[in-house]
Structure 1
Amino acid sequence: MDVQGEAARILGELRTQADPVRAENEKRYLKSDYAHIGVPVPALRKVAAPAVKSKPTRDEVVALAQTLWDVTDEGRPVHEARMAAIEILVRRVSLLERRDLAMAERLVRDSASWVYVDMIAEKVVGGLVLRYPDLAEVLDAWVGDPYMWIRRTAVLALLAGVRAGNPDLERLDRFGDALIGEREFFIRKAIGWVLRELSKKDPEWVAAWVEPRVGVMSGVTLREAVRRLPAEDAARILGR
C-alpha cells in the first residue's frame, strides 16, 4: 500500500462530499474545535473501505491510521480524517499486536470527545484485550488515570468481552466500585452502559450488583443499568 497516496485519496474523496451546513451542525452538536468537512458516517465508511480491502499489513494499517489522525486544516485536526483513521483500525483490528495498545492509548489521550474515544475503547482496546487477556492489567491502571477519557476507555473496553459472551465480571465489579462516586457524566454513563449490555445476557448478576448500591449510584448509571432488566427486578430496584 502507498500509505501517503491512500491517505490523500481518502481525504480527497471526503472533501468532494463536503456539506458546510452539516459540518456546522455537527461541530455545534459535538461542541468541537476541530475542522469539519460535513460527511455522514455511512459515506465516510464507504470512502475508507477500499483501504482495508486490499489486504494491508499491520504496519500499513497503523501508518495509514496515524497519517489520517495527524491531518490538520489551519492547525486544527480534521474530524472526518480522524473518524476514517478509527474506521480503518476497527476494520483491521485482527492485524494489531499487543504493542498497539500503546498506540490506542495515544489516540485516546489525543481525543477530547466520546465520538472518537468510544470506538477506540470498545473495538480497538477491547479487541486487543480479548486476544491478549494479560493486557487487561493495563486497564487496572487506566481506571484511576487523571484523564477522564482514559478512565472511560478502561470501562468501555469491557464491552468487548460482554458482547463476546466472555465478560470480565471481576473487573466490572472492581471498576464499578472504584468509579461509583464519579462526578463526570461520561464515566457514570459508561458504567451504566456496560451494565445494561451485560443485563441482556446475565440479568441476575446485574440486579445483584446494582441493588445494594442504589443509595450511592448516580441516577444516570442506575437508569442505564436497569433499562434491560426484567420488569419486576427493575421495579424493585428503582423502588428502593
Structure 2
Amino acid sequence: MAPIADVRRDLASLADPHRAEGLSRFLQMTPGGYGEGDRSIGVPVPDQRRVAARHWRELSLAETTRLLGSSVHEERLTALFILVRKFAKGDEEERGRIFGITLANTDRINNWDLVDSSAPYIVGPWLIDKDRSVLDRLAESSLVWDRRIAIMATFAFIRAGDFQWTFRLGDRLLRDPHDLVRKAVGWMLREVGNRDRAAAEEFLNGRYQVMPRVMLRYAIEKFDPQRRREYLSGAIQVTGPARQVTQNPSHQPWLQH
C-alpha cells in the first residue's frame, strides 16, 4: 500500500462520526461559518499527531502536499504535522522547500487550528534570519488565513526575544475586520508581555483605546486584575506623545528593519 494510503487508512480507522459533528460546529464548518464547506471525520488531534509520527519519514514531500490538498480536515492537519516534523529534521534545502509548499497552499490551511499548527513552526522559523517582507504581503491579503498566518508566524520571533514584527503587524492588523485575526494579534501581544511587560505596554498604551475589545482582552489576559481593569475602563494614563497608528508601518521609524 502507498504511504499516503496508509495515512488515510489509519485516520479512517480512528474516525468518530459523533466527534465529527461536534468538531464541525466548533470549527464553524456549517453553512455561513468561516470553515463552511470543510469536512471532518472526527479524529482527535493527539491521534493525528501519532499518525504523523508513524508516517512522516516514509511520506515524500510530494505525497504530503497531496494530503494537504484533501477535502478532509484531519488529513490536512495531519499533513501539516508531517511537514512540521520534516521541517524540524530537514536540512536548509528541505526546509526551504517546506516553507514554499506552505505558502503555496495557504488556501488549504483554511482554519485557525491549521494555521496555528504550522505558521509558528514553519513560516516563522524559516524567516528568523531572512527577509520577512512576505509577512507584509500576507497581512495585506484578502484571505483571512493569510493574515492569521502572518501574525502567528511572529511567535517564532517572540520566542527568540524579537518583538519588532509582532508590533509591526499588530499595527497593520489593528483594525482587521475578522475576529480570528483580532484574537491572534491579541494572543501574540500577550506572548510579548509574558516576556517583556514594559515593551508590550509601550505598544498598548498608544493603541488600547482603539483596539477591538477582543484583541485587548487577549493582550492583557495575564496582567494582574487591577491592571486589566485599568485598561478595560480606559484609565491608563499615557505619558508622552502616543505613537500614531498608520496603515503603512514603513512610515514608522521604530518599526524599520
Pairwise same-fold verdict (TM > 0.5):
yes
Q: Distance in 1 between matches of 2:106 and 2:171?
A: 23
Q: Distance in 1 between matches of 2:149 and 2:100?
A: 13
Q: Distance in 1 between matches of 2:211 and 2:229?
A: 16
The residue number in structure 2 matching 1:236 is 230
| 2:47 corresponds to 1:43 | yes
CA contact (8 A) 2:68 2:79 kept: yes
Deviations 1:62-106 (A, max 9, x none): 2232121233xxxxx011111110110112213243343331112
Deviations 1:193-221 (A, max 9, x none): 10011111111111111022122111011
Task: Please identify, of 211-220 and 60-69, the stretch whose mean Cα deviation from structure 2 is larger.
Answer: 60-69
Q: 1:182 Cα shift?
A: 1.6
Which of 137, 140, 145 is equivalent to 1:144?
140
The residue number in structure 1 matching 2:87 is 93
Percentage identity across paired residues of the two chains: 31
1:151-230 mapped onto 2 (5 Å cutoff): 151-163=147-159, 165-167=160-162, 169-230=163-224
| 2:96 corresponds to 1:102 | no
Q: Distance in 2 between matches of 1:210 and 1:135?
A: 26
Q: 1:9 Cα shift?
A: 1.0
Q: 1:231 Cα shift?
A: 4.4
Deviations 1:119-152 (A, max 9, x none): 222111112122xx22412112221122221111
Q: 1:237 Cα shift?
A: 2.6
Deviations 1:19-42 (A, max 9, x none): 111112212222222332221111
Structure 2: which 5+ residue stretches go unaligned? 30-36, 235-257
Deviations 1:147-190 (A, max 9, x none): 22111111110011212x332x2222221112212221111111
Q: Residue 24 of structure 2 aligns to which amino acid in structure 1?
A: K
Structure 1: which 5+ residue stretches go unaligned? 72-76
CA contact (8 A) 1:203 1:230 kept: no
Q: Distance in 2 between matches of 1:13 and 1:196?
A: 37
Q: Residue 35 of structure 1 aligns to which amino acid in structure 2?
A: R
TM-score, with length taken from structure 1:
0.84
Report how many aligned residue pairs link the two structures: 223
Q: Structure 1 residues 25 and 231, CA, compared in 2 at 3 Å: closer, same or farther?
A: closer
Which is helix-richer, 1 or 2? Answer: 1
Q: Distance in 2 between matches of 1:233 and 1:222?
A: 12
Q: Distance in 1 between matches of 2:149 and 2:131?
A: 13
Q: Structure 1 residues 99 and 87, CA, compared in 2 at 3 Å: closer, same or farther?
A: closer
Q: Structure 1 residues 143 and 109, CA, compared in 2 at 3 Å: closer, same or farther?
A: same
Q: Residue 49 of structure 2 aligns to which amino acid in structure 1?
A: R
Q: Residue 139 of structure 1 aligns to which amino acid in structure 2?
A: L
Q: Distance in 1 between matches of 2:103 and 2:153?
A: 12
The residue number in structure 2 matching 1:63 is 62
The residue number in structure 1 matching 2:16 is 19
